Amino acid sequence: EPEVTQTPSHQVTQMGQEVILRCVPISNHLYFYWYRQILGQKVEFLVSFYNNEISEKSEIFDDQFSVERPDGSNFTLKIRSTKLEDSAMYFCASVGGNYEQYFGPGTRLTVT
């Protein structure tokens, strides 16, 4: 069964550093999403992406965040200058014709 993959599984970075989280969505999907889950809290929507542009973003998704699909398979989330409060699990998801969102296993980002 096709699945969404994410790398790395765990990223440790220092405050102020840039990080790029990578996702490979399911190959025939066209809609892509990033969510995050701070430890002990609910899963929160960050951004959705379709047709090579952002279709919706939350108030969390400020100028420090960016997304792109640099090629036909990868979908990346960049945090330009990480803050302590960016520490969270970041999930990528993609949607196909059955409207189901398939989630990747997540990247745990730890900012020190």
Partner 1 sequence: AQSVTQPDIHITVSEGASLELRCNYSYGATPYLFWYVQSPGQGLQLLLKYFSGDTLVQGIKGFEAEFKRSQSSFNLRKPSVHWSDAAEYFCAVRALAGGTSYGKLTFGQGTILTVHP
Close Cβ partners of 106 (under 8 Å, ≥ 6 residues apart): 6, 9, 37, 89, 90, 91
Q: Which residues 58-77 are close enough to bind partner 1 by CB under 8 A?
A: 58
Q: Is residue 106 close enough to count as binding partner 1 by CB under 8 A?
A: yes
Which part of the chain contacts partner 1 (CB under 8 A), choosing from 12-20, 49-57, 68-76, 80-88?
A: 49-57
Q: Which residues 1-30 are close enough to bind partner 1 by CB under 8 A?
A: none
- DSSP helix/strand/coil, 86: helix
For residue 97, the minimal CB distance to partner 1 (Å) is 10
The first and second tokens of residue 61, run together, are 């998704």
In terms of DSSP bridges, do strands 19-24 and 5-7 run parallel, antiparallel, or are they unpaired?
antiparallel
Residue with structure tokens 């599984």?
A: 9
Q: Which of 2, 12, 55, 81 binds partner 1 (CB under 8 A)?
A: 55
Which residues sit at the interface with partner 1, rule CB under 8 A? 31, 33, 35, 41-45, 48, 50, 55-56, 58, 91, 93, 95, 99-106
